[in-house]
Amino acid sequence: MIGGQLGYGARVVDHQRVTDARTLRAFAHPVRSRLLEELNARGPMRAADLARTLGLPANQVSFHLRQLAKYDVVVEAPELARDKRDRVWRPADDDRGFRLDLDAVAQTPGGAVVAAAWRGMASERAHRAVDAAYRAERDPAVLRNITEATFQLTKAEAVELAAELDEVVMRWTARSRAAGPAGADEAGGTEERRLYGIFHLLQPRPEEPLERAE
C-alpha cells in the first residue's frame, strides 16, 4: 500500500519512505503494482498462487517478485514455507504502508522522469476508477461507491482526519488478509470475494473556474 504525497491511501503512521527513483520504478511496473495489490489484500502468497490469480506464467511472476525484493518492497516469509525450496512472499511494509516522497525522488538521478511518469500513471488510474464507478453497468453482486465531501479544517485537524481514515484502512487491510478467498454471508453460505480498491485524497480544494467556456 502506497501513500503520502501520492498513492493508494494516506499513510500518516510510521512507514517506509520511498525517496529513490529506482525503488519507485520497481513497483511502477503494471505487473508489479498488481502483485503488490494482491499481497496487500490477501497477505503472504506464493508465486504460483499469484500466477494463477493473475493468469500469468509462474516464472514471470517470480521474476517480478525478485525485482520487488531487490528494492525491499517485498520480502520472503520463511516461517510460512513448507520446506527450504518453498518461497512465500509478503509486503515489506507489513500493514504500515509506504510513504511516497515524489519531491525527494525527483532529486535523485533520473528521478524527475520517473516522478512525472508516476504522476501520469496515478492520474490515469484515478480517471479509470471514476469512469468505472459512473459508467459501469449496475451489478447487484458488487458495490461501486463515490464519496465527495468538503470540510473547513486547520492543518492539525486535517492531520487528525487523515489519521482516522488511515486507521480504518489499516483495520480493513488486516481483516482482508485474515479472511481468505471467500467468507460466510449472513445466510451461512459463501460469497465471492473481489479485489476492491479505495482511493482517498485529502488536500486543500484546488481552484477551478466557476463558469465553463462555451
Whether this prediction's pTM lies above 0.85 is answered by: no
β-pair type (45-46, 88-91): antiparallel
Give the whole-angstrom CA distance, residue 193 versus residue 142: 10
Give the whole-angstrom CA distance, residue 176 versus residue 187: 20
CATH code, domain with 165: 1.10.10.10
Kindly state the helix (H) or strand (E) to which residue 150 belongs, with its residue range.
none
User: Is 79 contained in some domain?
Assistant: yes
Q: How many domains does the chain have?
A: 1
User: Is 197 contained in some domain?
Assistant: no
Domain around 72: 2-192
User: Is 132 contained in some domain?
Assistant: yes
β-pair type (98-100, 16-18): parallel
User: Is 209 contained in some domain?
Assistant: no
Q: What is the pLDDT of residue 183?
A: 42
Mean pLDDT by 10 residues, the chain (214 residues): 41 64 87 91 91 94 94 89 89 74 90 91 90 84 89 94 89 85 47 84 86 65
User: Is 149 contained in some domain?
Assistant: yes
Q: What is the pLDDT of residue 181?
A: 52
Residues shown for the chain: 214
Find the Cα–Cα–Cα–Cα dihedral 74, 167, 125, 179, rounded to 10°.
Answer: 60
Q: Which cell numbers in the block locate residue 66? A: 525478485
Cβ-Cβ contacts under 8 Å for 154 (sequence gap 6 or more): none
Q: What is the pLDDT of residue 141?
A: 86
User: Is 148 contained in some domain?
Assistant: yes
Residue closest to 2 by CA, chosen among 105, 82, 154, 87: 105
Residue pLDDT, tens place only, 28-67: 888 998 999 999 888 899 999 999 999 999 999 999 999 9
User: Is 46 contained in some domain?
Assistant: yes
Q: What is the pLDDT of residue 67?
A: 93
User: Is 201 contained in some domain?
Assistant: no
Give the whole-angstrom CA distance, residue 177 versus residue 143: 20
Q: What is the pLDDT of residue 152?
A: 96
